[in-house]
């Protein structure tokens, strides 16, 4: 395990010592030597005993080719239950690293997952937070979840870390399978209501929220709350705080879908219930109360009730500070509450106070990320981005640019992760950095960041245009402005035309949202055309923009 652990300072990057580089080279050589027709293994080898007797160097050189041979899959699976935990982790590490380069091994990794072994699942869960390219271990665990027996699925659901970039899709698949098992043959029947099913639905909603799928999260969490209400009426819910947790999550999902009044109602109900329970047992319910009060603070802010929001956020911070003194696991929640308070203070124009609270949140998250980047890196990027924006609002542009550089540097890890969700976060960080650099007068660096961000948005929009075309249009628009400032007027004109094309498509799909930005884009295009002497075409674009604005009045 120690060979895989990544330590984090400012930049979170994988490191390879000389032994690991040699291991990778040996894996490549061994895999290339694999016979294309497949050589059968002996009976002794098929028992799994062969790879269990290998030392680390021999395992690195021989295991990939062994697994690729005819009967190799059965050989590896035969040794899983007899392997020590260290042997199994080493073997998995070798196969997962090699499968990144050799697709045939990737297919074998998926087949290994179909063994459905709990011992294999446990080893993979230990490795998952430590890898920087999670696709192979995700594939292994997803196939394992599909094949595993119900008791193993339940064990896996309990063993999942609370928050993980690498295990997000696995967590959703695991809990979805658990829900299918708990529902039985009648998925819509209330007779299958149970605290376990309601809890699984709540957890599914929380995981979907982490993956930024708010509509799906809302569906799951709403069902959980309704089920808890039925269970409470029947006296079948042994954990009264569970509905409060579900209501808090429901508040988050409603907020994410823009339903701020309903979100406040859910948070208010959760807080009232938690206050009642905490009067009976303050120690047992303090964390639930703190979470619901923080959710209520956010909801109040969204309803422009900032003074009340500040009061609620301060209470949440006080509760989480007390909890964190007893258990460091609450430091992350303290950072969340500090950021909630900072947002409310910002909304009241108390920017200097807001800055101090965001700084404290960033310090906490830096420390947490050094220890567990897989769990805390997205929160750190978000907090550092907020800190940069607050510096900018105070006119402290060099400090804003420095923190935007930090956010972009941290976000580089997202590129290694490979999923569209995290690539979009990297592209956003680069766009934010470009804005901060322009305000500090570093136009050349800003142009470079904007170009990189635009390349990423193009890639994302090519695979999911309905999700990423708006961001692509904004990025190309920024690129047009940056190119024009650099004197590259023809390239700027080409980008300005592209922005208009994209926003014309978007405006046809949703006129209320995109017609105003289309009018702005037509004006920008006209400005670029005028600068190049194309007066007649520029006049046409100005007229079109004016016509759209006339429709909007």
Q: How many residues does this entry show for the chain?
A: 553
Fold of 464-553: 1.25.40
| 159 contacts 144 by C-beta, under 8 angstroms | no
pLDDT (tens, 9 = 90+) of the chain, 553 residues, equals 333 333 323 332 333 444 445 445 544 454 454 444 345 545 445 555 578 888 888 898 889 988 998 888 998 999 999 999 999 999 999 999 999 988 999 999 999 999 999 999 999 999 999 998 999 999 999 999 999 999 999 999 999 999 999 999 999 999 999 999 999 865 656 667 899 999 999 999 999 999 999 999 999 999 999 999 999 999 888 888 899 999 999 999 999 999 999 999 999 999 999 999 999 999 999 999 999 999 999 999 999 999 999 999 999 999 999 999 999 999 999 999 999 999 999 999 999 999 999 999 999 999 999 999 999 999 999 999 999 999 999 999 999 999 999 999 999 988 777 789 999 999 999 999 999 999 999 999 999 999 999 999 999 999 999 999 999 999 999 999 999 999 999 999 999 999 999 999 999 999 999 999 999 999 999 999 999 999 999 999 999 999 999 988 7
Domains of the chain: which residue ranges? Answer: 1-152, 464-553
Contacts of 68 (CB under 8 A, 6+ apart): 31, 34, 38, 104, 105, 108
Query: DSSP string spanning 92-112?
Result: HHHHHHHHTT-HHHHHHHHHH
Number of H helices and E strands in the chain, helices first, is: 27, 0
Distance from C-alpha of 465 to C-alpha of 99, rounded to nearest angstrom: 30
Distance from C-alpha of 348 to C-alpha of 306, rounded to nearest angstrom: 7
- Name the DSSP letter for residue 42: P
Phi first, then psi, for residue 83 (nearest 5°) are: -70, 150
Write out the two tokens for 14.
């994988």
> pTM of the full predicted structure?
0.87
- Please calculate the CA angle 455-460-465 and round it to the nearest 5 degrees: 120
| 61 contacts 27 by C-beta, under 8 angstroms | yes
Q: With left for phi above 0 and alpha for psi between -120 and 50, is residue 5 left, alpha or beta?
A: beta
Q: Which residue do the tokens 């909007």 mark?
A: 552
Residue 516, classed as helix, strand or coil, is: helix
Distance from C-alpha of 370 to C-alpha of 383, rounded to nearest angstrom: 15
Q: Is 455 exposed, middle or buried (0-12, 13-18, 19+ CB in 10 A)?
A: middle
Nearest Cα to 288, choosing from 253, 330, 230?
Answer: 330
CA torsion 142-27-371-333 (nearest 10°) is -20
Distance from C-alpha of 43 to C-alpha of 151, rounded to nearest angstrom: 32
């Amino acid at each position: 395990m120690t060979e895989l652990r990544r330590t984090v300072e400012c930049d979170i990057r994988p490191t390879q010592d000389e032994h690991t580089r040699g291991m990778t080279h040996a894996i490549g050589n061994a895999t290339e030597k694999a016979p294309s027709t497949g050589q059968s293994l002996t009976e002794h080898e098929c028992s799994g005993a062969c790879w269990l007797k290998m030392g680390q160097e021999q395992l690195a050189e021989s295991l990939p080719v062994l697994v690729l041979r005819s009967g190799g899959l059965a050989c590896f699976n035969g040794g899983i239950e007899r392997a020590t935990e260290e042997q199994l982790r080493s073997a998995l590490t070798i196969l997962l690293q090699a499968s990144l380069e050799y697709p045939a091994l990737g297919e074998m990794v998926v087949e290994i997952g179909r063994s459905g072994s709990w011992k294999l699942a446990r080893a993979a869960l230990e490795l998952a937070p430590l890898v920087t390219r999670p696709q192979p271990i995700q594939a292994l665990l997803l196939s394992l979840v599909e094949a595993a027996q119900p008791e193993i699925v339940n064990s896996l659901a309990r063993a999942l870390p609370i928050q993980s970039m690498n295990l997000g899709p696995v967590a959703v698949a695991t809990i979805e399978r658990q829900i299918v098992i708990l529902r039985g043959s009648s998925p819509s029947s209330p007779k299958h209501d149970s605290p376990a099913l309601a809890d699984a639905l709540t957890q599914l909603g929380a995981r979907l929220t982490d993956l930024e799928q708010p509509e799906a999260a809302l569906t799951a969490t709403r069902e959980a709350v309704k089920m808890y209400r039925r269970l409470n009426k029947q006296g079948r819910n042994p954990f009264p705080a569970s509905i409060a947790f579900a209501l808090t999550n429901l508040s988050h999902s409603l907020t994410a879908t823009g339903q701020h009044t309903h979100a406040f109602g859910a948070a208010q109900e959760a807080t009232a219930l938690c206050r009642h329970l905490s009067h009976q047992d303050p120690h047992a319910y303090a964390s639930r109360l703190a979470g619901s009060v923080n959710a209520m603070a956010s909801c109040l802010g969204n309803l422009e009730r900032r003074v009340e929001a500040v009061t609620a956020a301060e209470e949440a911070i006080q509760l989480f500070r007390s909890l964190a003194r007893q258990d460091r696991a609450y430091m992350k929640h303290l950072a969340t509450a500090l950021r909630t308070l900072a947002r409310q203070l910002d909304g009241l124009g108390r920017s200097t106070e807001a800055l101090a609270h965001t700084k404290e949140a960033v310090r906490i998250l830096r420390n947490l990320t050094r220890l567990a980047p897989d769990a805390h890196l997205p929160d750190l990027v978000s907090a550092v981005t907020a800190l940069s924006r607050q510096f900018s609002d105070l006119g402290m542009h060099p400090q804003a640019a420095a923190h935007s550089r930090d956010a972009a540097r941290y976000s580089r890890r997202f590129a290694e992760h490979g999923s569209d969700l995290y690539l979009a976060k990297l592209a956003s960080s680069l766009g934010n950095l470009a804005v901060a650099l322009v305000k500090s007068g570093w136009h050349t660096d800003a142009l470079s960041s904007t170009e990189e961000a635009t390349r990423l948005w193009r890639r994302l929009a090519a695979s999911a245009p309905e999700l990423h075309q708006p961001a692509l249009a904004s990025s190309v628009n920024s690129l047009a402005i940056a190119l024009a400032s650099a004197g590259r007027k023809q390239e700027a004109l080409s980008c300005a035309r592209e922005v208009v094309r994209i926003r014309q498509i978007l405006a046809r799909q949703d006129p209320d949202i995109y017609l105003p930005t289309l009018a702005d884009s037509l004006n920008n295009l006209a400005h670029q055309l005028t600068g190049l002497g194309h007066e007649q075409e520029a006049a046409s674009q100005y007229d079109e923009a004016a016509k759209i604005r006339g429709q909007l009045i």
